[in-house]
Amino acid sequence: MAEKTYTARQLAERYKVAGSTVRGWLLRRLIPGAYLQETGLGNSYWLVPESAIKDFVPPKPGPVPKAKPEQLNGKKRGKK
């Protein structure tokens, strides 16, 4: 039997946040195991397995933290 999956919209309802917030989490890979499902019409949507959200704790509201130097892969940011 296949594992139950949730869409970004369903997770938004579950965590009482906007759908764009959940999509941001997914783009930032905060929920391991989430993947994009292609529709065949050139569109896609996020699916998250139930096991991936078992221990998930939503991040605190506020601005997205800046990348740490080790996450920049040697790229410098800012003015040239």
The predicted pLDDT at position 61 comes to 77
Which of the pair, 47 or 59, is modelled with greater confidence?
47
The predicted pLDDT at position 55 comes to 86
Average pLDDT over the chain, rounded to whole?
A: 84
Mention every residue, 6+ apart, whose C-beta is less than 8 A from residue 33. 48, 49, 51, 52
3-state helix, strand and coil shares in percent for the chain, rounded to the nearest 5: 30, 15, 55
- Give me the sign of the Cα torsion angle 71, 12, 54, 60: positive
Phi, psi of 71 (to 5 degrees): -90, -10
Mean pLDDT of the 41-62 span: 89
Mean pLDDT of the 40-46 span: 90
Distance (Å, whole) CA 54 – CA 51:
5
pLDDT category, 62, cuts 50, 70, 90?
Answer: confident
